[in-house]
């Protein structure tokens, strides 16, 4: 699967670091680490960041030396100059949180949509707008100015329709998620442009990322509002 991205002129970019968010579990280590490093390296190449492999190896080795228990969300940050920081915190469940549609379309020309970075304005603005309208919102499903859904603020989106799983195509300008990639490589999910109407009519809707796995959503009263039924589910439902 190609993850080719359009280059963005340096003067158009805000200050930001590249970012990868990973799951660490006791006795299992870092989940899908190779895929995450590959995506990070690809973004570094596209956006002109230094990527010193030895420094990454050293940062990960230092992370491994600190004893931990349970389940953690790990963040690997890379500065433009090539400095790596690895940090972690216990991963708390967001089961029961609410998810809704963004209040307005995300322009397809918005910068950095195909890269995971610390520049989160597009996502945070959409989330804060909905949180001001309704309590309990933890994420929003985004859609573009052509009427197709793209992703959520923290995950890729999958729908189930007539027994098959579909996720929005990269043509819709979205992050090529690592867990999404794994599901595509396994043949579990297929790419498809998905309209807002198709989202509303889907047999089931899921958010997916490599930290929380499959997050099944259930309708929560009105159209365009869902509750997260569970997280940290890694087997295909």
Render pLDDT for 36-86 as a digit per residue (tens, 0 to 9).
999 999 999 999 999 999 999 999 999 999 999 999 999 999 999 999 999
Q: Residue 25 pLDDT > 60, yes or no?
A: yes
CATH number of 10-90: 3.30.470.10
pLDDT at 159 over 50: yes
Domain 98-228 class, CATH top level: alpha beta
- What is the pLDDT at residue 13? 64
For the chain, what is the HEC assignment?
CCCCCCCCCHHHCCCCCEEEEEEEECCCEECCHHHHHHHHHHHHHHHCCCCCHHHHHHHHHHHHHCCCCCEEEEEEEECCCCCEEEEEEECCCCCCCEEEECCCCECCCCCCCCCCECCCHHHHHHHHHHHCCCCCEEEEEEEECCCEEEEECCCEEEEEECCEEEECCHHHCCCCCHHHHHHHHHCCEEECCCEHHHHHHCCEEEEEECCCEEEEEEECCCCCEEEECCCCECCCC
Q: Kindly tell me if the per-residue pLDDT of 11 is higher than 60.
A: no
Name which of 1-10, 164-173, 195-204 the model is least confident about: 1-10
- The pLDDT value given to residue 158: 98
- Whether 33 has a pLDDT exceeding 80, the answer reads yes
Q: What is the structure's pLDDT at 127?
A: 98
Domains in the chain: boundaries: 10-90, 98-228
Q: What is the mean pLDDT of the chain?
A: 93
pLDDT at 223: 87
What mean pLDDT do residues 200-220 have? 97
């Amino acid at each position: 699967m190609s993850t080719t991205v359009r280059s963005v002129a340096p003067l158009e970019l805000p200050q930001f670091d590249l970012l990868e968010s990973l799951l660490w579990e006791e006795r299992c280590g870092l989940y899908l680490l190779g895929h995450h490093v590959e995506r990070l390296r690809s973004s570094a190449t596209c956006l002109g960041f230094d990527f010193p492999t030895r420094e990454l190896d050293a940062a990960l080795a230092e992370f491994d030396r600190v004893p931990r228990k349970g389940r953690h969300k790990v963040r690997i940050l890379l500065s433009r100059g090539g400095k790596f920081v690895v940090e972690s915190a216990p991963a708390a469940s967001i089961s029961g949180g609410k998810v809704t549609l963004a209040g307005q379309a995300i322009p397809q020309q918005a910068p950095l949509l195909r890269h995971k970075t610390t520049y989160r304005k597009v996502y945070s603005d959409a989330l804060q707008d909905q949180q001001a309208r309704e309590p309990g919102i933890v994420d929003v499903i985004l859609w573009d100015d052509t009427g197709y859904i793209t992703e959520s603020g923290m995950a890729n989106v999958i729908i189930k329709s007539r027994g098959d799983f579909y996720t929005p195509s990269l043509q819709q300008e979205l992050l090529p998620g690592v867990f999404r990639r794994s599901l595509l490589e396994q043949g579990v999910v297929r790419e498809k442009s998905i309209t807002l109407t198709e989202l509303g009519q889907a047999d089931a809707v899921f958010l997916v990322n490599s930290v929380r796995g499959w997050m099944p959503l259930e309708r929560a009263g009105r159209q365009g509002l869902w509750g997260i039924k569970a997280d940290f589910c890694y087997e295909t439902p």
